[in-house]
Structure 1
């Protein structure tokens, strides 16, 4: 397993180095290349460092823009195979859910502690893993960050899953990693929330009712149409497949969404947080 992880990481790093050399040869900054392919500067940086997996559409666009002559297109299949293998790098207790998430038709989340992994910036994710207790090694932190960013490619595929996220307001107020990391994370939420396949809502702290008092959870619909739920509290994960238990959580989520701010109101609140910072 460790040998496969090293090979996969080396491939992502090698492709990232190639992209960096081609970009510099083309006289483009990371920000300029990102603007041309629809990525942020930080995403280009992550790809060049081998932390983020370059997706097929990115490789096709970059190959043309950087005059790579088919070099980047040629590695698409190898990247896809390596990305599939990379999913087994998740901790064992999380692996089954990670596989379901990667192929889900729908994804829904209620969060009370931190921004969902699919929406995290690299810096925010690294801050979370760095603060874990007991402490993780630097190598483990980097692997976990890379795996988390790789998961996010699900939002870029087509057809993309239908996604909704509801966060308690306090999640967005907590400056994990410092003010600069916090601002970048809020800006990322605004970008992702504007995707047609994503709806983001905030549950104001001043709401008197609290149907989500039992804690955070994920809901997803698998590619076979099965609805499942996933919870993780104090390192104890649970994949819920019993139809009655899942039905209860689905009902609870519906009530939570009804009581939260609308997607438009939620974006306005996040914009206000950024403006007040």
Structure 2
């Protein structure tokens, strides 16, 4: 369990800045090797083939009707490509599948996200409280799509466009946590430098700071800034996160604690919560933090 949680919790890590290849965007993504969603994708592919053959269409003919390439149809039928929900909706209508293809739309919507993102989202969707400290970038749940894109574009070695698009889609999908009912309690602490580093350029940063101000107005969200000038700082171990669940359990992680692995024992979690509490005390209060962000925005 901890092995996949470690991968999921490590490194959280329109805008018109770039455009993904239409074929990748419309058709979906290849299945990751060993992904547990693979059997479902294969089942969808077999069902698509059955429906196509029942309609008396060849792969190329279906591709022409749907507006996709024949190779993509074949990949989906072989279970190698994850179809977008929109593809299934259109195919269901064209093939008169009576909702059988549409029934998999939600599964394919989740499957579109990278495996580590799906698992992280499951945890975030269960959490009733989150304690989140970031010292290098704006936290993923707070990022705009253009800021996310800029972060992935500076990765080295460079990431392929379809990889960037999929990662951005996955991270954006996690932000549904803000619309959940009942709403979770979200506490974010951001280092000052994350509000000043112009990842993607000044306009990207401007939009990002404006977004932070909007999110900070939500009643269940607290955003605090840790000023660089602070002499006492309990967050020198790096990013720290604690997710608490309704059944009283929790999971947490910090780069500089417990070898960077996720922990679930009450004793270990208490250490992380104590450290987070100290960071929160040392950071600017929410009202002052909002004023700090407004001031930073005014300088751009």
Give TM-score, length-normalised by structure 2. Answer: 0.64
In 1, the alpha carbon distance for the partners of 2:139 and 2:159 equals: 20
Q: Give 2:187's aligned residue.
A: 164
Matches within 5 A, 1:27-38: none
Q: Identify unmatched segments of 5+ residues in structure 1.
A: 16-75
Greater helix share, structure number: 1
Number of paired residues?
212
Deviation at 1:239, TM superposition (A): 1.7
Say whether residues 1:150 and 2:173 are aligned partners: yes
Q: Give 2:6's aligned residue.
A: none
Equivalent residues of 1:107, 1:219 under 8 A apart: yes
Q: Does the C-alpha gap of structure 1 residues 103 and 120 become closer, same or farther in structure 2, counting only changes over 3 Å?
A: same
In 2, the alpha carbon distance for the partners of 1:246 and 1:79 equals: 38
Deviation at 1:95, TM superposition (A): 5.3
Q: Deviations over 1:26-71 (max 9, x none)?
A: xxxxxxxxxxxxxxxxxxxxxxxxxxxxxxxxxxxxxxxxxxxxxx
Q: Give 1:90's aligned residue.
A: 115
Q: Deviations over 1:182-221 (max 9, x none)?
A: 0000001001111111000001111110111111111111
Deviation at 1:242, TM superposition (A): 2.6
Equivalent residues of 1:97, 1:239 under 8 A apart: no
Q: Does the C-alpha gap of structure 1 residues 205 and 14 become closer, same or farther in structure 2, counting only changes over 3 Å?
A: farther
Say whether residues 1:181 and 2:204 are aligned partners: yes
Q: Give 1:46's aligned residue.
A: none
Say whether residues 1:104 and 2:127 are aligned partners: yes
Q: Does the C-alpha gap of structure 1 residues 265 and 82 become closer, same or farther in structure 2, counting only changes over 3 Å?
A: same
Q: Does the C-alpha gap of structure 1 residues 224 and 85 become closer, same or farther in structure 2, counting only changes over 3 Å?
A: farther
Question: What value does the CA root-mean-square deviation take over the aligned residues?
Answer: 2.6
Q: Give 2:296's aligned residue.
A: 273
In 1, the alpha carbon distance for the partners of 2:287 and 2:124 equals: 26
In 2, the alpha carbon distance for the partners of 1:210 and 1:141 equals: 34
Say whether residues 1:212 and 2:235 are aligned partners: yes
Equivalent residues of 1:90, 1:144 under 8 A apart: no
Say whether residues 1:11 and 2:115 are aligned partners: no
Q: Identify unmatched segments of 5+ residues in structure 2.
A: 1-29, 32-37, 42-79, 90-101
In 1, the alpha carbon distance for the partners of 2:272 and 2:125 equals: 21
In 2, the alpha carbon distance for the partners of 1:246 and 1:186 equals: 31
Equivalent residues of 1:90, 1:147 under 8 A apart: no
